[in-house]
């Protein structure tokens, strides 16, 4: 993931298979572009499982941007991004859903 980010951006492991990507000075559109870049770079990658079989990777991403959302605290912002993540998962997985931007990237 880090290879898809600017030098000022960073990734934090948030839970088992969840990460937070922080993009200082990036708007919603930038967030969507970066999320799609991460998604497409990881999609289809193989993770070895045993000697002969592997697992194909897919990724669902949810995002929210401050101050573009109505988030008053960091917890509110994380909650909004988490809601977008679950919306992506419910929508068929392997997609990026950003607050205030539809699944196809249109505002």
pLDDT at 103: 52
99 is catalytic: no
pLDDT at 101: 67
**Could you tell me which of 60, 59, 67 has the C-alpha nearest to residue 24?**
67
Helix then strand count (H, E) for the chain reads: 2, 6
pTM confidence score:
0.78
Assess contact for 19 and 29: CB atoms under 8 A: no
Residue 74, H or E segment: helix 74-90
Residues 73 and 54: their CA atoms lie apart, in Å, by 41
Domains of the chain in start order, with CATH, are: 2-98 (3.30.70.270)
* Catalytic residue from among 9, 17, 30, 82: 17
pLDDT at 36: 92
Contacting residues for 79 by C-beta, under 8 A, at least 6 apart: 71
Walk along the chain (107 residues) in steps of 10 and give the mean pLDDT of each run. 89 87 88 91 78 78 81 86 90 86 51
């Amino acid at each position: 993931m880090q290879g898809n980010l600017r030098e000022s951006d960073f990734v934090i492991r948030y839970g088992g298979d969840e990460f937070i990507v922080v993009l200082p000075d990036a708007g919603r559109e930038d967030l969507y572009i970066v999320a799609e870049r991460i998604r497409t770079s990881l999609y289809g990658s193989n993770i070895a499982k045993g000697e002969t079989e592997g697992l194909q990777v897919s990724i669902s991403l949810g995002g929210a941007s401050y101050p573009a959302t109505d988030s008053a605290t960091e917890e509110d912002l994380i909650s909004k991004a988490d809601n977008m993540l679950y919306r992506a998962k419910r929508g068929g997985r392997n997609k990026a859903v950003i607050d205030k931007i539809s699944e196809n990237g249109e505002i």
